[in-house]
Amino acid sequence: MKYLMLTLISFSVWAKADLTTIAEKSQWMKTGRADEVERLCRDFASTYPDKVTCNIYGVTPLGRNMHYLVVGEKLGSAPVLWIQAGIHSGEIDGKDATFWLLREILSGQVKSNPLKGLTLVFIPIVSLDAHERFGKWNRPNQIGPEEMGWRVNSKNLNLNRDFGKLEISELQDLVKLWLKVDPILSADLHVTDGADFQAEVGLVTAPTSHYGQTPLHLAGSVLEKELIEKLKSKGRKALEFYPDFEDALNPKSGFGRYISPIRYSHAYWSEQGRLGLLVESHSWKDYKTRVRTHHDVVLSLMELMQKNGQEWEKLKNHKEDFVNKDVILEQKHTLKSREIEFEGYKYEVYTSNVSGGKVIKFFPDQKETWKLPFYETFYPTLKVKAPAVGYIIPPAEAEWFKNKLKMHGIVVENYEGQPLQDVFVFKASEKTFAPAPYEGLHNLTVKGEWRNAKEEIPKGSLLVPINQPRARLVMLLLEPMSRDSFLSWGFLNRYFEQKEYMENYVMELVALEMLKDPKIKAEFEQKLKNDKKFADSPEERWSFFYRKHPSWDQKMDVYPIYKL
C-alpha cells in the first residue's frame, strides 16, 4: 500500500508538470524570469529522470543559483554538445527555443530522437543577475519580447568579454563546468545588432580552414557547410558569417570573415582545441521567428553531432608541436574578395537633421538582391616564436598567474632556476595606454621584441611549459603583444609606469654636463632638427638626458615574464 501511494504521488507530480514556456503560452510575446528556469529545470528532471538531470554550477554575486541541464546519454558515455543562452540576457531567444525543443524531443514529437548517442549540456541563462534586471527597453534595437534582461551583470561587466581574462565569478564557474564536461562542440546563442536584411541568422564557426589547416580547422569547415545545408532544408535563411558591413553606412562595401579574440566564447572554445559556434538570430525578425530559428539551429547541431560526433571526439587527441616554432597568433582578412549574392532591402543614406551625421534607413517591404564583395582570405598580423621550454613567472607574480592559468586548465609547474640563466626578455619600444577604461580596465598596447639576456631566476618561480595541449592558449595569454594577453588587458600596467623622477632643476644641470659628450650632443641636436614634437616639448628634451643617466630605471617597460 505504501509503495502504491508513493507511486500515485509520483504520478501526480509527473502529471501536473507543465513543461510549456511562458513564451509559448503568451504566443511569443513574453519570456519567463529566473523562477521559470528553476522550475523547468526541476520539472524536466522529475518528468524524465532517466534522460534529464537538473544541476547547479555556481551562485551569482546577488546569490542566485545558476542552473544547467544534462540531457540524453550520461556524461562520459557520449560526445557532449554544449548549448548556452543568455550570456547577453536581453538576447534570450535561445533559452525559450531550447526548452521548447527539449520538450518536443523528450515527449516523442521528434521521431528521429536527435539525442540518441550524445549528451546535451544546456545552460538556459548564463548572465542570471542581468536577466533579472528586467525591462521593456533593454534592447531598443530588437523586436520583442515585451520585456527582457540587461546586457551586463550586477557588477556592470560583460560576461562575453571575459573568457580570456576570467575576472568575473559567473564566468569562472562556467568555464570550470565547461572544462569538466569537455564538450567537443559548443554554441553560444545571441541576437544581432546592426543592419536590416532578409537572413534570419548569422553563424560564426571557429576555427575554419580559411585560416588554418589543422584537423580542427578542417572539421570546423565541415560543421559550417553542413549546418548551413541543414538549416536551408528546414526553411531557414542562414549566413556563414556575422552580417556586419565593412562600412556601416555602405552596404555595398560587403562583408568579411574575422577571427575573434579569446574574450569571446566561440573563439575561446576554439583556442581550447574544440569547435565553437556563435549563433546570432536577426534582431529585426519578430520573437517567434527568432525563437524558431534558434530551435532549428540547436536541432541541426544535434543531428550533426549524431553524424560526426564520434569523429570529432578524436580531435581532442591532436596536439600541435609549437616548441621553438614561429606561431601565427593573429590574422586579418586581406583585400582579396569573391562576389556573393546577398538578400537585403532597399535603403537610403541621408543626413540627420538631429545630429548632422549620416544615417542609413532600410525599407523591409522592398526586397533587393545585391552582389557584394566577401573577404575570406587571411594574412598574419602577429607571428611570434614559441619558447623552447616555456614561460618563467618570477615569485612576485607567481600566485596571481598560477591561479589564473589553472582556471583555464593550463599546466603550471614549480621551477627552481639558477643564479644566472640565459633567457629571453621582452622590453617595450612603444606603449600606448587606452584613453578610457574598457570593462573596468585600462588596456595597454605595446610593441617590442624578445632579446637574449642573463637573469636571476629566484626560488619560487613558476614554469608554464609550451609542450602541453593548450599551448596556443598559453601564448595568447602570455605573449605581450597578443591583443587578449593579460598585459594587453592592463593587469601589468604598473611595470610600464615611471616610478622615480629627477627634478627639472637637477635635470638641467645634468643635461648641461652630459652635453659635453660629443656623441650625446650630436644626437640631441639631430633630434632637435628632425623631430618637431621633440623640439617643442621641454619634458621630452629633459627625458632624452634622463634616460641616458645611470639613475634611470632599467626595469621600466620590461615585461616581468621570461621565455626559456
Determine the residue type at 329.
L
Contact 65, 111 (CB under 8 A): no
Indicate if 485 and 514 belong to the same structural domain: no
State the Cα–Cα distance between residues 487 and 559, nearest whole angstrom: 8
Q: What is the CA 538 to chain-centroid distance, rounded? A: 44
Contact 471, 322 (CB under 8 A): yes
Q: How far apart are the first and last CA of the chain?
A: 73
Mean pLDDT of the chain: 94
Indicate if 376 and 231 belong to the same structural domain: no
Cell of 77: 558515455
| Concatenated DSSP letters of 160-221 | GG-TTT--SHHHHHHHHHHHHH--SEEEEEEE--S---S-SEEEEEES-TTS--SHHHHHHH
- Per the domain annotation, does 324 fall within a domain? no
What HEC string does 41-53 produce? HHHHHHHCCCCEE
Indicate if 457 and 334 belong to the same structural domain: no
- Per the domain annotation, does 170 fall within a domain? yes
Q: What is the residue range of 516's domain?
A: 504-546
Indicate if 308 and 336 belong to the same structural domain: no
Indicate if 157 and 295 belong to the same structural domain: yes
**End of a domain among 363, 380, 397?**
380
Question: What's the Rg (C-alpha) of the chain?
Answer: 28
Low-confidence ranges of the chain (pLDDT < 70): 1-16
Give the pLDDT confidence score for residue 6 in this predicted structure. Answer: 42
State the Cα–Cα distance between residues 424 and 478, nearest whole angstrom: 13
How many structural domains compose the chain? 4
Indicate if 407 and 494 belong to the same structural domain: yes
What HEC string does 85-116 produce? ECCCCCCCHHHHHHHHHHHHHHCCCCCCCCCC
Q: What is the pLDDT of residues 235-259, one digit of tens each?
A: 999 999 999 999 999 999 999 999 9
- Per the domain annotation, does 194 fall within a domain? yes
State the Cα–Cα distance between residues 242 and 192, nearest whole angstrom: 8
Indicate if 274 and 393 belong to the same structural domain: no
What sections of 393-437 are H helices per DSSP? 395-407
Helix (H) or strand (E) holding 309: helix 287-313
- Torsion region of 259: left, alpha or beta (phi above 0 gives left; psi -120 to 50 gives alpha): beta
| Concatenated DSSP letters of 116-153 | TT-EEEEES-SSHHHHTS-BTTS-TTS---SSB--SS-
Give the pLDDT confidence score for residue 331 in this predicted structure. Answer: 97
| Concatenated DSSP letters of 462-493 | EEEESSSTTHHHHHHHHSTTSTTSHHHHTTTG
- Per the domain annotation, does 195 fall within a domain? yes
- Per the domain annotation, does 61 fall within a domain? yes
- Per the domain annotation, does 323 fall within a domain? no
Model's pTM, two decimal places?
A: 0.93
Q: Strand, helix or coil at 274?
A: coil
55 φ/ψ angles, rounded to the nearest 5 degrees: -135, 165
Q: How far, in Å, are 65, 174, 221, 263 from residue 57 at the CA level? A: 8, 7, 32, 21
Give the contacts of 362 (CB within 8 A, at least 6 positions apart).
Answer: 195, 196, 197, 344, 345, 346, 347
Cis peptide before 215 (omega within 30 of 0): no
Q: Which residues of 422-437 are buried (b: 16+ CB within 10 A; e: fewer)?
A: ebbbbbbeeeeeeeee
Indicate if 391 and 537 belong to the same structural domain: no
- Per the domain annotation, does 301 fall within a domain? yes
Give the pLDDT confidence score for residue 514 in this predicted structure. Answer: 87
Give the pLDDT confidence score for residue 15 in this predicted structure. Answer: 52
CB atoms within 10 A of CB 408: 19
Contact 300, 227 (CB under 8 A): yes
Indicate if 370 and 412 belong to the same structural domain: no
Q: Is 274 exposed, middle or buried (0-12, 13-18, 19+ CB in 10 A)?
A: buried
Cell of 468: 602541453
Indicate if 534 and 388 belong to the same structural domain: no
- Per the domain annotation, does 435 fall within a domain? yes
Contact 153, 129 (CB under 8 A): yes
Helix (H) or strand (E) holding 320: none
Q: Strand, helix or coil at 390?
A: strand
Cell of 434: 587606452
Q: Is 471 exposed, middle or buried (0-12, 13-18, 19+ CB in 10 A)?
A: buried
CATH of the domain at 25: 3.40.630.10
Indicate if 373 and 394 belong to the same structural domain: no
Residue from 283, 550, 559, 552 nearest 426 by CA: 559
Indicate if 133 and 253 belong to the same structural domain: yes
